[in-house]
Amino acid sequence: MADGPVNDAPYRLIRDVTFGENVVVYSFTNLYGCRIGDDTRIGTFVEIQRGAVIGARCKVQSHTFVCDGIELEDEVFVGHGVMFVNDRRPRATSDGGGLQTEDDWQLERTLVKRGASLGSGAIVLGGVTIGEGALVGAGAVVTRDVAAGETVAGNPARALAGSAGGSAPPKG
């Protein structure tokens, strides 16, 4: 456990974050109430919300949004501008007409397993599991579970021909 990131950088908002050792966080980030494991790097303009868990030796590239209910295991790569979703049917207001609170919607959790990679601009809907070593193409919209070792792309994301599901190639 460390007190904070190992590097200095201007314009970071960091509140109630549990840091592992040797974490690097670049500028213009907003991190609160989350956990970040050893040696992980967080790029510029990233927001990670309360309740999110990021493993060790992950790379989270610039402009990505990680919300509550998301867990990235160790050695996960998240490309630029990846968006996670945790509310399938969002509404601004509740039946009474007032703004929704946390009691008015159902959090959907997502797990990205060890060594998986998400391409830039991917959108990951809530409630899915992305298997170990899987690869999600740039711009994909992931609506269902992705098998270990599988490569998926497109909207909705589907396995690319020749993609080997079921095994989990370790990433070097």
| HEC assignment per residue over the chain | CECCCCCCCCCEEEECCEECCCCEECCCEEEECCEECCCCEECCCCEECCCCEECCCCEECCCCEECCCEEECCCCEECCCCEECCCCCCCCECCCCCECCHHHCCCCCEEECCCCEECCCCEECCCCEECCCCEECCCCEECCCECCCCEEECCCCEECCCCCCCCCCCCC
Q: Which is nearer to ligand COA, 17 or 152 (CB)?
A: 152
CA distance 90 to 61: 26
Q: Which is nearer to ligand COA, 17 or 157 (CB)?
A: 157
Choose, by CB under 6 A, the member of 67, 137, 149, 150 that binds ligand COA.
137
Q: How far is the CB of 170 from ligand COA (least distance, A)?
A: 17
Residues 120, 90, 128, 74, CA torsion sign: positive
- Select from 7-15, 86-94, 101-109, 151-159 the region that touches ligand COA (CB under 6 A): 151-159
Q: Which is nearer to ligand COA, 112 or 135 (CB)?
A: 135
Choose, by CB under 6 A, the member of 5, 51, 55, 119 that binds ligand COA.
119
Total site size for ligand COA, rule CB under 6 A: 11
Choose, by CB under 6 A, the member of 31, 134, 135, 148 that binds ligand COA.
135
Q: Which is nearer to ligand COA, 43 or 127 (CB)?
A: 43
Half-sphere exposure of 155 toward its Cβ, with a 13 Å CA cutoff? 9
Among positions 75-114, residues that touch ligand COA (CB under 6 A) are 79
Choose, by CB under 6 A, the member of 74, 139, 159, 164 that binds ligand COA.
139
The answer to whether residue 151 forms part of the interface with ligand COA (CB under 6 A) is: yes
List interacting residues with ligand COA (CB under 6 A): 79, 119-120, 135, 137-139, 151, 153-154, 160
